[in-house]
Amino acid sequence: MDAASEFKSETKRWAHNYPELGTGPVPIEPCISPEYFEREREAIFRRVWLHVGRVEEIPHAGDYFARDIPPAKASIIVIRGNDGVIRAFHNMCSHRGNKLAWDEAGHCERVLTCRFHRWAYAFDGKLQRVSDENQYHQLDKADLALSPVNVETWEGFIFVNLDSEPPETLSEYLGELGRGIGGWPFSAERACYSYRSEVHCNWKVAMGAFQESYHVPFVHYRSVPESPAGPDNPYARPIAVRLFPRHQTLSVYANPNVKANAMDEVAVRYGPGMRKRGVVSGDLPPGVNPTRSPRWGFDMETIFPNLLMMLWGNGMLVTHQFWPSEYNRTAYEVRIYLRKPATLGARFSQEYNRAVLRSALMEDLATLENIQPMLESRAKKHFIFQDNEIGLRHHLKVVDEFVRGAA
């Protein structure tokens, strides 16, 4: 089958591949119900592995970062010890419950010190010093260490699990998706830019904008015209969809005949970016562009529950993370990882593509904030998903399985 036939076929490919997901309407209520969100807090965000940062953020002993985890009503501190081991703790002093680290990141020379009454903790969490210690009654410092949080790393990404006894390791949790994209040159990238915004919508609605490419020709016709769509594929149908028990991957089409303007041409020539077609050689891990399509643009990997990674074969990585604080409020964080530019042309390419991406993200956010109030009107009770929106159907199903205790 040629390219034109493949993307214009009437065959509903993904429903055929994943019949267990069904094809009927999907209830809206889980995206507008405060009660359902409270159940998500307990069933998901306090039980599963959550991405919180990268190892490059804490390269030296005493380096730390703090992360609030609103859906779990928790704050954690991740620190590298004198032995090089990365540990995580609840960001809470054992004395009166003060938040130990107030800033997002920093470095401690010897101990972590609470600003309230100067209790001090070693990098392994042990209580080292108590001010005016002899005035306490039966004080046992050995029992007053920081409360530990389970922490593991994968490909340089740091994950934590707030469950006291996680039922599976991080590797087991990531499963086939982790094995399939392992080996991507994550460590060759460096975080150059990040964005953060509060979006007035449910976190699942926000994630859904990045789990399908159907919207691209309509929402992004200004920022990325004809890039993930074209005459052969007018509705930006995905090249491949792979759904796992929790996670998923979407391979996005790249129009080989996109009409580039002058700045596009320079950006493509000198560096990686959104408008440059991806590498399709055997250098890619088997889970990235799994069909080895020559029309591949990038992969969108969803790591349940709230992390998405956009992988370009030419050296660009973008992560999207969604932290809900309420049923209709979500903190949206974007990080763009790029290699250090070797030339001015490469620097221009990075800046140009960052600007293009930012424009596309703003288009997404504007759409999302117009969706939530309409959902809450309850004028409609169901989403109507087409075949190429199967990623949304899958994600909502996995969430519901956790909430019902079936996961």
| Chosen domain end from 122, 142, 174 | 174
Is 144 a domain residue?
yes
Are residue 166 and residue 189 in the same domain, yes or no? no
pTM of structure: 0.92
pLDDT per residue over 53-67, tens digit each? Answer: 999 999 999 999 999
- Which segments within 29-165 are labelled E, that is strand? 50-54, 63-69, 74-80, 86-90, 105-107, 112-113, 120-121, 127-129, 148-154, 157-161
pLDDT per residue over 115-136, tens digit each? Answer: 999 999 999 999 999 999 999 9
Closest to 303 (Cα-Cα) out of 24, 27, 44: 44
**pLDDT at 278 (0 to 100):** 46
Are residue 295 and residue 255 in the same domain, yes or no? yes
| Chosen domain end from 149, 174, 199 | 174
Whether the pLDDT of residue 261 is over 80: the answer is no
Q: What is the mean pLDDT of residues 135-163?
A: 96
Are residue 299 and residue 345 in the same domain, yes or no? yes
Are residue 267 and residue 360 in the same domain, yes or no? yes
Is 42 a domain residue?
no
Are residue 307 and residue 255 in the same domain, yes or no? yes
Are residue 230 and residue 133 in the same domain, yes or no? no
**pLDDT at 176 (0 to 100):** 97
CATH code of the domain in which 89 resides: 2.102.10.10
Are residue 237 and residue 332 in the same domain, yes or no? yes
Is 43 a domain residue?
no
Number of folded domains that form the chain: 2
Is 36 a domain residue?
no
**pLDDT at 282 (0 to 100):** 58
5 confidence band (pLDDT: 50, 70, 90): low
Are residue 191 and residue 302 in the same domain, yes or no? yes
Is 67 a domain residue?
yes
Whether the pLDDT of residue 312 is over 90: the answer is no
Is 40 a domain residue?
no
**pLDDT at 264 (0 to 100):** 53
Are residue 147 and residue 219 in the same domain, yes or no? no
Are residue 350 and residue 287 in the same domain, yes or no? yes
Are residue 131 and residue 196 in the same domain, yes or no? no
| Chosen domain end from 174, 192, 227 | 174
CB-count exposure of residue 135 (10 Å: 0-12, 13-18, 19+): exposed
Q: What is the amino acid identity at position 367?
A: T
Are residue 86 and residue 104 in the same domain, yes or no? yes
CATH code of the domain in which 317 resides: 3.90.380.10
What percent of the chain lies above the pLDDT cut of 90?
A: 70
Is 45 a domain residue?
no
pLDDT per residue over 202-256, tens digit each? Answer: 999 999 999 999 998 888 887 876 678 888 899 999 999 999 999 999 999 988 8
- Supply the range of the domain harboring residue 223: 3-31+182-403
Residue 296 tokens read as 């591949």
The answer for 355, left when phi > 0, alpha when psi is -120 to 50, beta otherwise, is alpha
Query: What mean pLDDT value characterizes the chain?
Result: 90
